[in-house]
Amino acid sequence: MIEVQKVSKRYGHSLVVDDVSLNIPKSGFTAIIGPNGAGKSTLLSMISRLLPMSAGRVLIDELDVTRTPGAELARRLSILRQHNQSSLRLTVRDLVAFGRFPHSGGRLSADDQHKIDEAIDFLRLTPFQHKAIDELSGGQRQRAYVAMVMCQDTDYVLLDEPLNNIDMRHAVDMMQLLRSAADDKGKTVVVVLHDINFASCYADQIIAMQGGKLAGQGSPNELIREAVLRDLYQLDIRVHEIDGQRICTYYR
C-alpha cells in the first residue's frame, strides 16, 4: 500500500500540493485526474522521491520513502516521468536494459536478459528493439520508455501521462497493457491521465486533484458524475452510460 500522509510541496510563496492525505491499495489500477496545475505530477514525483516534500511523509509497504535506501526503493517502485529524453544514441534494447540496473548493477544476467525480452515483447517493440531511440516515432519512443519502467519489474509502477505523443490506437493499446500489468502481473499501477474517459474505462479507483488539494477519491461510478466533474474542471461535462461504462462528452 502507498500511504500519503499530510504531504505538501511549496515553491517560495506558491503551495502546489496542499496537505494531501490518501491511501492507494496494493494491486489494481489508480488514475489521477484534474485540471492543469492541480498538483498531479508533483504529487506523483513526491511519492516516488523524485521531488522532496515540504511537509508530510509517504510510506510504501510501511517504508518511509525518504529514509529507504535508493537501491531498495528502486526494487519496489518505478516511475515514468512526464518528459523523457536521452542525449545518448541508444537502441530500444539498450534503453530498456537500464530498467534492470537496480537488480544487475550493470552486469546483466540471463534472468535480466529474459526480463528485457519480456518487457520489449509486452510493449510490442520486438521489431524495433535494435533501432536507435531517435529513429522511432513519438509513440514508439514513449512505449520504449514504458518498457524500461516495466523491465524494472517493481510491485509499484507510477506513470506520469504515459499517453503523451501517442495516437488513439496506440493509446488504447497502452491502456490495455497497463490494465494487463495490474490484472495479470499483480502490479500496482498509478497513472496521471488527462483523458477522463480512459480513467473512467480502465481505472479501479480515481484520485481527483484541484488547486493542489485532494478533491475526491473513489471508483469511476463515484467520481465520473456530472456534478463532480463540473466542480473539478469548471466545465459542463455530460456523462453517458455506454455498454456499462461512463463516457464523458464536453466538446460543445
Residue ranges covered by each domain of the chain: 2-76+154-249, 85-153
Give CA separation, 144 vs 13, 132, 247, in Å. Answer: 38, 11, 29
pLDDT of 104-154, one tens digit each?
777 888 888 999 999 999 888 999 999 998 888 888 888 899 899 988 889
pLDDT of 155-199, one tens digit each?
999 999 988 878 888 889 889 989 999 999 899 999 999 999 999
For the cut 80, the answer to whether the pLDDT of residue 88 exceeds it is: no
Nearest CA among 189, 177, 190, 112 for reference residue 142: 177
Question: Can you give the pLDDT at residue 21?
Answer: 97
Give residues with Cβ within 8 angstroms of 236, minimum separation 6: 226, 230, 250
Question: Can you give the pLDDT at residue 83?
Answer: 67
Measured CA to CA, the distance from residue 64 to residue 4 in angstroms comes to 10
Query: In CATH terms, is domain 2-76+154-249 a member of 3.40.50.150?
Result: no
Q: What is the pTM of this model?
A: 0.90
Handedness of CA 187, 192, 198, 203 (dihedral sign): positive
